[in-house]
Chain A
Amino acid sequence: MPFKIIASQCTSCSACEPLCPNVAISESAGRFVIEPAKCTECIGHFDEPQCVAACPVDGTCVIDTSLPRYQAPS
């Protein structure tokens, strides 16, 4: 279950983008999106998902439940 950004809430502040350890977040035409295939939910990197912890608008970086949970490589 990667994280996704709710576009209508995002202020395009760019706080999340440089923090993602997997370079999963990118900007195009002023909008920030998370590429689901790259998001590891920050597991193995940090205690908290970096995009969620840094985003000033609560409830903007949320889990996308329609996709399977990330499996940390064993």
Chain B
Amino acid sequence: MNAVVGHGRYVEGSLDKMMRPTAEHRGCGTSVNTGQASCRSRAAHGELPAEIWEKVKKHPCYSEGAHHHYARMHVAVAPACNIQCNYCNRKYDCANESRPGVVSEKLTPEQAVKKVLAVATIIPQTTVLGIAGPGDPLANPEKTFKTFDLVAKAAPDIKLCLSTNGLALPDYVDTIAKSKIEHVTITINTIDPEIGAKIYPWIFFSHRRYVGIDAARILTDRQLQGLEMLSERGILCKVNSVMIPHINDHHLVEVNKAVKSRGAFLHNIMPLISAPEYGTVFGLNGQRGPTAQALKALQDACEGGVNMMRHCRQCRADAVGLVGADRGSEFNIDRVMKMDVKYDPEMRKAYQEKVEAERAAKVAASRAGLAEFAGEMSEITVLVAVATKGSGLINEHFGHAKEFQVYEISTSGAKFVGHRRVDVYCQGGYGEGERLSTIIRSVNDCHAVFVAKIGGCPKSNLISAGIEPVDRYAHEFIEKSAIAWFRSYLEKVKRGEIQHAQRGDADIRCGSLISAG
């Protein structure tokens, strides 16, 4: 609002002022469907070839470490699609991209470029532009590639990223390479046409509509062929899969292997979102999504194959900003077209250097925390939930959290394993009991919840649910604090003060899913 307009132009010395609005923002916005290389890739430049680390270190979706610090944005220039998925209801809007009832603003390529420049100036940690629909970008090739070309000219420091269902991919691989697109996400839900027939009622390919197994076979072949062609050209590929219980859940381990052998860099398994009110075939059929435990078990089963991405927020086709903190509403197109934007790559560079310094401090802190474990080993692993606004800090109040980030801690460190979306507990000053129990259900598999601050009522409710509320690490680094807490937990177990037990399952709340295709 005003703040936005006020920040529209960079003024000498305003860097610090700009840090603040950012800090209010949460970690990563999720990028699209994107996630990070998970576990493996976080902070771990040591483990990745240098040229790949260069490509992913500032991509919130491809690097879990980056998702605390950098933001991505999507522009909705591509409304048409060439297939139908049973988890999508395009009569209203793409279920994969946004929630029903929320009409995405369709942009022309020219409007999209203006919006990119405005967002990148006001939110200088925006490093990635993605086109992910709301339909399939490659079913809208003119709009998609025109937008990318215009952005590449106007803002060469922004990384370009594309999400597709893969049907048209083999035809556009060369155009993608020419357009300097470094990251491509393909949604591959199955490599078995029999399973595919249960997910895709039809495709439109070479001037015809195909249905059933024929349709699924063409789609699968084209997706895998496109993936191979991209890998050969050195373009980083992420594969998204929607986990659909009883349809493709066990099969996704096969998909993981198949995409690994074709050079995929990252695999993001997302839970099916199928609330009946979304009006999708699956929603109306009563097809359920997986529970948190089932999702994590599948992700764990795929470990060792392609890197798993776990920080995906299933973001919208018009998402803007850091994780969990969508600022899209500040940038509606009428407002953007009136802004006087002065794009300044130098200011962005200076800002991002500060972010890198902050990030290095965080990595050093978690290494130091880990060093304290030296020599100690334990079989015990626990999950903890963290309320954060980003920057890798425990800096959100329990009552204001829109999501909790979940870490798995063991004596080998704290590893990010996912996030849980919740409804904000505090509404106008007081909390709501009903909401509180839903929040507790969504972190029910965790042993502790780390917050900057928490009220008496939620505190006692958490305790009676067997989850420890921890506010003594307010504004400290997440990983270091989690390790310190875990040390004291292990000591208590050793002394016999508490008995270690696994906790139960948790609910996955419907959030917006993004990513075409």
Could you tell me the distance between the alpha carbons of A12 and B350 in the complex, rounded to whole angstroms?
A: 42
> B79 at the A/B interface (Cβ < 8 Å)?
yes
User: 8 Å CB contacts to A: which residues of B445-461?
Assistant: none
User: 8 Å CB contacts to B: which residues of A13-67?
Assistant: 13-15, 18-19, 46-48, 50, 53-54, 56-57
Contact of A11 among B82, B84, B90, B207 (CB under 8 A): B90
Q: Which residues from B are CB-within-8-Å of A18?
A: 142
Could you tell me the distance between the alpha carbons of A59 and B135 in the complex, rounded to whole angstroms?
A: 20
Interface contacts beyond A13-B81, A15-B80, A15-B139: sample of 18 additional A-B pairs, CB < 8 Å, sorted by A: A11-B91, A11-B92, A12-B106, A13-B80, A13-B90, A13-B135, A14-B140, A15-B82, A46-B207, A48-B207, A50-B207, A53-B207, A53-B208, A53-B209, A54-B80, A54-B82, A56-B91, A57-B91
Q: Which residues from A are CB-within-8-Å of B142?
A: 18
User: In the complex, which of the residues B79, B80, B84, B208 has the most CB atoms of chain A within 10 Å of its own CB atom?
Assistant: B80
Could you tell me the distance between the alpha carbons of A48 and B205 in the complex, rounded to whole angstroms?
A: 12
User: 8 Å CB contacts to A: which residues of B406-451?
Assistant: none
Q: Which residues from B are CB-within-8-Å of A57?
A: 90-91
Q: How far is the CB of A74 from chain B (nearest CB, A)?
A: 24
> B373 at the A/B interface (Cβ < 8 Å)?
no
Interface size class of A (residues with CB under 8 A): 10 to 19
Chain B, residue nearest A45 (CB): B207
B binding-site residues for A, Cβ under 8 Å: 79-82, 84, 90-92, 106, 135, 139-140, 142, 204, 207-209
Could you tell me the distance between the alpha carbons of A18 and B135 in the complex, rounded to whole angstroms?
A: 15
Contact A53 B79 (CB under 8 A): no
Contact A14 B90 (CB under 8 A): no
Could you tell me the distance between the alpha carbons of A56 and B139 in the complex, rounded to whole angstroms?
A: 13
Known: A11-B91, A15-B82. A48 touches B135 (CB 8 A): no
Q: How far is the CB of A26 from chain B (nearest CB, A)?
A: 15
Chain B, residue nearest A17 (CB): B80
Contact B79 A13 (CB under 8 A): yes
Could you tell me the distance between the alpha carbons of A15 and B135 in the complex, rounded to whole angstroms?
A: 9
Contact A56 B81 (CB under 8 A): yes
Q: How far is the CB of B111 from chain A (nearest CB, A)?
A: 14
Contact B79 A47 (CB under 8 A): no
Chain A, residue nearest B207 (CB): A46
Contact A56 B90 (CB under 8 A): yes
Q: Which residues from A are CB-within-8-Å of B84?
A: 56
Q: Which residues from B are CB-within-8-Å of A53?
A: 204, 207-209
Chain B, residue nearest A52 (CB): B209
Contact B208 A15 (CB under 8 A): no
Q: Which residues from A are CB-within-8-Å of B80?
A: 13-15, 54
Contact B208 A14 (CB under 8 A): no
Contact of B208 among A11, A47, A56 (CB under 8 A): A47
23 A-B residue pairs with CB within 8 Å: A9-B91, A11-B90, A11-B91, A11-B92, A13-B135, A14-B80, A15-B80, A15-B81, A15-B82, A15-B139, A19-B207, A47-B207, A47-B208, A50-B207, A53-B204, A53-B207, A53-B208, A54-B80, A54-B82, A54-B204, A54-B209, A56-B84, A56-B90
User: In the complex, which of the residues A9, A14, A57 has the most CB atoms of chain B within 10 Å of its own CB atom?
Assistant: A14
Q: Which residues from B are CB-within-8-Å of A48?
A: 207-209
Could you tell me the distance between the alpha carbons of A48 and B204 in the complex, rounded to whole angstroms?
A: 11
Contact B79 A14 (CB under 8 A): yes
Chain A, residue nearest B88 (CB): A56
Could you tell me the distance between the alpha carbons of A12 and B103 in the complex, rounded to whole angstroms?
A: 12
Q: How far is the CB of B166 from chain A (nearest CB, A)?
A: 17
Q: How far is the CB of A55 from chain B (nearest CB, A)?
A: 9
Q: Which residues from B are CB-within-8-Å of A47?
A: 207-208
Chain A, residue nearest B80 (CB): A15
Q: Which residues from B are CB-within-8-Å of A14?
A: 79-80, 140
Contact B209 A12 (CB under 8 A): no
Chain B, residue nearest A30 (CB): B106
Could you tell me the distance between the alpha carbons of A47 and B204 in the complex, rounded to whole angstroms?
A: 13
Chain B, residue nearest A57 (CB): B91
Contact A12 B207 (CB under 8 A): no
Could you tell me the distance between the alpha carbons of A18 and B84 in the complex, rounded to whole angstroms?
A: 18
Q: Which residues from A are CB-within-8-Å of B91?
A: 9, 11, 56-57
Could you tell me the distance between the alpha carbons of A9 and B140 in the complex, rounded to whole angstroms?
A: 21
Could you tell me the distance between the alpha carbons of A11 and B92 in the complex, rounded to whole angstroms?
A: 7
Chain A, residue nearest B135 (CB): A13
**Top 7 nearest A-B pairs by Cβ distance?**
A15-B80, A53-B209, A56-B90, A46-B207, A14-B80, A13-B79, A54-B204
Q: Which residues from A are CB-within-8-Å of B208?
A: 46-48, 53
Q: How far is the CB of A53 from chain B (nearest CB, A)?
A: 4
Q: Which residues from B are CB-within-8-Å of A46?
A: 207-208
Q: Which residues from A are CB-within-8-Å of B92?
A: 11
Could you tell me the distance between the alpha carbons of A18 and B209 in the complex, rounded to whole angstroms?
A: 16
Could you tell me the distance between the alpha carbons of A46 and B204 in the complex, rounded to whole angstroms?
A: 13
Could you tell me the distance between the alpha carbons of A19 and B139 in the complex, rounded to whole angstroms?
A: 11
Chain A, residue nearest B134 (CB): A13
Could you tell me the distance between the alpha carbons of A35 and B233 in the complex, rounded to whole angstroms?
A: 44
Chain A, residue nearest B92 (CB): A11
Q: How far is the CB of A51 from chain B (nearest CB, A)?
A: 11
Could you tell me the distance between the alpha carbons of A9 and B431 in the complex, rounded to whole angstroms?
A: 42
Q: How far is the CB of B285 from chain A (nearest CB, A)?
A: 17
Chain B, residue nearest A12 (CB): B79
Q: Which residues from B are CB-within-8-Å of A15?
A: 79-82, 135, 139, 204
Q: Which residues from A are CB-within-8-Å of B79?
A: 12-15
